[in-house]
Amino acid sequence: MLENYYRELVCFLNAKLGNRQVAEDVVHDAYVRVLERASDTPIEQPRAFLYRTALNLVIDGHRRNVARQTEPLEVLDSEERFHAPSPQHHFDDSQRLDLLQRALAELPPLCRESFMLRKLEGLSHPQIAERLGISRSLVEKHIVNAMKHCRVRMREWDAH
């Protein structure tokens, strides 16, 4: 159901932001947020909910950028220096990465490849479509389906 709004939302954000790559990234993040929703209550107006989520992400990103620009460099440096993840945190990340790799391995090859090219290599949808010899629309569907699949599998494995 939500996949129907993907291209429309990318065009909308591209017009607002003036950068298609950033618009695609925000839409991906919005889809992930919607798919990660903890509530079991059905979304009554999925299109409006998705748009609101995407716009909130744009606003949050803008606020972070403004805050970052006003912080002195010494603060940023000390934040990074003193942020050492605990060994348990590293173990949890490593475990989650293993689970994510298992979930990705379950996907059909083109679906997995589309997702990896987007998320790891940062290729745009047209670049992925050209490289894989498939339509841009199919690339979008593959990426959304990969995100959904990984989210569902991670939740299942977390429950156990």
Q: If DSSP states are collapsed to H, E and C, what string results for 34-80?
A: HHHCCCCCCCCCHHHHHHHHHHHHHHHHHHHHHHHHHCCHHHHHHHH
Split into its structural domains, the chain has a count of 2
pTM of the model: 0.50
Together in a domain, 19 and 79: yes
Of the two residues 58 and 158, the one the predictor is more confident about is 58
Taking residues 81-86, report their average pLDDT: 47
Together in a domain, 12 and 50: yes
Residue 92 — pLDDT band, cuts 50, 70, 90?
low
Residue 95 — pLDDT band, cuts 50, 70, 90?
confident
Do residues 150 and 36 lie in contact, with contact meaning Cβ atoms separated by under 8 Å?
A: no
Containing domain of residue 130, as a range?
87-160
